[in-house]
Structure 1
Amino acid sequence: MLKVFPRKGVIRFRKRGKFNPRYIGPFKILEQISPVAYKLELPEELSNVHSTFHISNLNKCLSDKSLVIPMKKLRLDDKLNFVEELVEIKDPEVKQLKQSRISIIKVR
């Protein structure tokens, strides 16, 4: 399984992307480059990502078919970060403080 990062650039959605999957895959190991680097067989959706990874970015996969997440449901950029899209703005609100106003917007 390959580790993906639940953040988009510098901006974080939620604290740690609580409900985002941490690992995608499983992928077949093509060869061991060094004791800490492995080359994986990646699908077409990840063709822009380099196929060699450090062992810290990999996780051993148990062959449970229910845990496999299809790649078509996930949108990843070239640095393996999730691409998140705005669905709708639900409840815009302005909070009035003593000398300033803060816009509070709920986004789905």
Structure 2
Amino acid sequence: MYADPRRRPVTFFVGERVYLMMLMWKGVIWFGKRGKLAPRYIGPFSIGQLLNDQTVVLDLPAELFGIHDTFNVCYIHKCKVDDESQILSLQDLKVDMSKKLLEGPIRIVHRKVI
């Protein structure tokens, strides 16, 4: 009765890049910040195996050895960026002592010579 009649099921493929949703559970590994400013998704990770239409196995890096690699599809989100250089990892963020984000140019894309 309250379901969206135009909703389509999300399909995933092996090798596709996805983000993993971070849940604010107690006792779970924290990625950087805590509370409201904590990241909602981490990744991207590639899908290693499809167990069924609701369960996927992710290829997680060695830093996440304490996290189980099997997830329901409701906890992952498709990575819509095709270019890998557009993805910013958590290690690339620079924060000073007053907890402010240091912003600066990453690379020069175009130069105009006069």
Report the TM-score when normalising by structure 1: 0.52
**Unpaired runs of at least 5, structure 1:** 11-15, 74-108
Aligned to 2:55: 37
Aligned to 1:69: 89
Deviation at 1:59, TM superposition (A): 0.5
Bigger proportion of residues as strand: 1
* Change over 3 Å in CA distance of 1:8–1:32 after alignment to 2: closer
Fraction of identical pairs, as percent:
34
Aligned to 1:24: 42
Q: Deviations over 1:40-64 (max 9, x none)?
A: 0000011121111000110011226
CA RMSD, Structure 1 to Structure 2 (Å) = 2.9
**Unpaired runs of at least 5, structure 2:** 1-18, 28-33, 94-114
Aligned to 2:26: 9
State the secondary structure of the residue aligned to 1:18.
helix
**How many residues in Structure 1 have an aligned counterpart in Structure 2?**
68
- Give the residue type in structure 1 aligned to 2:26: G
The runs of at least 4 consecutive aligned structure 1 residues that moved more than 2 Å come to 64-73
Matches within 5 A, 1:47-58: 47-58=65-76
Q: Deviations over 1:84-107 (max 9, x none)?
A: xxxxxxxxxxxxxxxxxxxxxxxx
Structure with the greater alpha carbon radius of gyration: 1
Matches within 5 A, 1:78-89: none
Deviation at 1:70, TM superposition (A): 3.4
Deviation at 1:8, TM superposition (A): 5.7
- Give the residue type in structure 1 aligned to 2:67: V
- Give the residue type in structure 2 aligned to 1:69: S
Deviation at 1:18, TM superposition (A): 2.3
Q: Tell whether the 8 Å contact from 1:45 to 1:71 is kept in structure 2 after alignment.
A: no
